[in-house]
Amino acid sequence: MMINTQKLWTAIVTPFDDNGKKIDYLSLSNLLQQQQEAGNGVVLFGSTGEGWLLEMDEKKDILHHLFANKSKAQILVGVPSLSLPQAEEFISFCNDLPIAGYFISTPLYTKPGIRGQTKWFEYLLNQMAKPAMLYNVPSRSGVSLYPEVVANLAGHDNFVAIKDSSGDLKAMTEYLNVAPNITLYCSDDDMMPQTAKIGAKGLVSVAANAWPTIVRRYVGRSLNDPNDPDLEIWKQAKVLFNASNPIPIKVLLKYLGLIQTATVRLPLSLEDLARPELLYQLNDNILHWGQKACDSKFSRE
């Protein structure tokens, strides 16, 4: 399956042991197995996966572990977005692996202009043996993915999709206007119906860590009828961002018994999450919605 034909990519968490020093491979393998069984793709090493807090060797070890254990999950790997040599090294390593493709955010901290962004992405796209999804995340990178950059890169064979995390429907529409051949993905679980209305073809989801099959059904229904009033409940998914991602989703996954610990790495802290009971209430509401959706005429994918 190509990147841009998958309607749901789960931005997977990276589970740790109690002190955050080691990867919890058992929990990670179980999470990926659930995503594979649901038919979802997986994004590794994004912000939800604490990709910027993982060492290069840890990322390589994770990929070695997954493929040594014959993981069949469709995987996108996040590319380092600050150091060009690190990005180039990681791409070279991943080119020999059976991944589906790459995931590249706008460069962090440096705030490049249109020409700098274009050259950054173009250089990395040229190194890749697989296609890529570009990631607009101005709240983290300090700068947006410029529409002019999207237009400049639209003809590149390895540029096939955009994940937009700006929450700006006008900006998303502009991407589609300048590059109608590029597949747009929503990045905010609560906004899937709104982005479907303007032409988004799928979701890169945090919520799907907890509910892989239910979120897939939600995406399908959003694409089928984004005005369906039954989709209003998904606005409650905003509580998954009541603290810096991935703190809330890790707390919820621990509550559900899907990971051993909710540990995050500094400078993230679980103490920044207020009222975790809102997550547990969300879980009850989403499970109830999922049960109802099973009986609806839109339950099929």
Q: What is the pLDDT of residues 71-120, one digit of tens each?
A: 788 999 999 888 899 999 999 999 999 999 999 999 888 898 999 999 99
Question: How far is the C-alpha of 233 from the C-alpha of 214, rounded, in Å?
Answer: 13
102, 135, 185, 218: the catalytic one is: 135
- What is the structure's pLDDT at 300? 46
- What is the structure's pLDDT at 295? 60
CA-nearest of 3, 4, 64, 8 to 36 is: 8
CA 123 to chain centre: 23
What b/e sequence results for 103-120 when a residue is b if at least 16 CB atoms lie within 10 Å of its CB, and e otherwise? bbbbbbeeebeeeebbeb
Is-catalytic flag, 163?
yes
Q: How many CA atoms lie within 13 A of 236 on its CB side?
A: 16
Is-catalytic flag, 218?
no
For the chain, the C-alpha Rg in angstroms (whole number) is 18
pLDDT single digits (tens) 166-179: 888 999 999 999 99
Q: Which residues of the chain have pLDDT under 50?
A: 298-301
- What is the structure's pLDDT at 20? 93
User: Token pair for residue 45?
Assistant: 């090493």
What b/e sequence results for 168-191 when a residue is b if at least 16 CB atoms lie within 10 Å of its CB, and e otherwise? eeebbebbbebbeebbbbbbbbbb
- What is the structure's pLDDT at 104? 94
- What is the structure's pLDDT at 289? 95
7, 59, 130, 163: the catalytic one is: 163
